[in-house]
Amino acid sequence: MKPFNDAPISRNGKSLILAHDHGLEHGPSAFAGVEDRLDPETVFEMATHDAVTAFAVQKGLAETYYPSYEDDVSLLAKCNGTSSLWEGEPYSPQTWSVENAVEVGADTIGYTVYPGTNREPEMIEEFRAVQEQAREHGLPVAMWSYPRGQAIKEHRSPDVIAYAARIGLELGADIAKVKYPRSQEALARAVDAAGDVRVVLSGGSKTSDYEFLSTVEAAMDAGAGGLAVGRNVWQRDDPERILDALEQVVFEGASADDVL
Ligand code: FBP
């Protein structure tokens, strides 16, 4: 049986994963206007909000800061990643062994796969090893399933996002994190394609409160199991306010209009 049901990554079958691996993926420019957040403790503090069911970080942040938060935060160990400093076919090398992540206190293992990249065969093989190691430790696996690369003409098309979600099921993930395919209907198709894998919405770049919460509302109505969000929370001036609102939309079925 999959370990998912017992994992401390969800509440009432829904997840709100706060992602904070952007220092690696996007670099310090992602902190423009919120430079205080360059101090990881400020974002670890956000992750203690009741709405957050897991906090996704890379090895370095986890090793240094997680010991002070292990009683209050569920750790999602993001075990691969890449900077935006290089060019070429998308690829995300492993940065953290599952064994070490478990020692640090990981409750969930996170891993990106770029379906469609010319390096897909390597990425699938690497995901296989990580997924099996996570299973040995009884941990759930969240796949960042992000189709991209030369072969992908439209990485948010309904077919491509449904395929991304399905790949999560085929490869043994418990959660598939996908980009919003621009319509509720298309996301519902992806949810169907994923079988019992929980499809969570990727947050994306910061938008207005209404646009962001309306998209989350649409995703939840389409059957999504929550979201994994970074910039739309930690880049905001008042992250607590948006987390309060998300708590109602994700876990209590509130609408964007209700909470704004
Ligand atoms: P956001 O909500 O800020 O988009 O974060 C989700 C995430 O998957 C992060 O974990 C990751 O750093 C980032 O998006 C990668 O996005 P991209 O590869 O599109 O730049």
What are the residue ranges in the chain where pLDDT is below 50? 1, 5-6
pLDDT at 2: 59
Which residue reads 């017992």 in tokens? 6
Give the number of other CB atoms < 10 A from CB of residue 182: 14
119 close to 152: Cβ distance less than 8 angstroms: no
Domains and CATH numbers, the chain: 14-259 (3.20.20.70)
179 lines ligand 1 (CB under 6 A): no
- What's the pTM value of the predicted model, to 2 decimals? 0.97
pLDDT at 38: 98
pLDDT at 77: 98
ipTM for the complex? 0.93
* Tokens of residue 148, six digits: 């991209």
Tell me how far the alpha carbon of residue 229 lies from the centroid of ligand 1, in angstroms.
8
Nearest ligand 1 atom to the CA of 21 is 12
Overall size of the chain counted in residues:
260
Q: Is 210 a catalytic residue?
A: no
Q: How far apart are CA 45 and CA 94, in angstroms?
A: 27
pLDDT at 3: 54
Tell me how far the alpha carbon of residue 220 lies from the centroid of ligand 1, in angstroms.
19
pLDDT at 1: 46
Contacts of 41 (CB under 8 A, 6+ apart): 65, 68
Tell me how far the alpha carbon of residue 135 lies from the centroid of ligand 1, in angstroms.
25
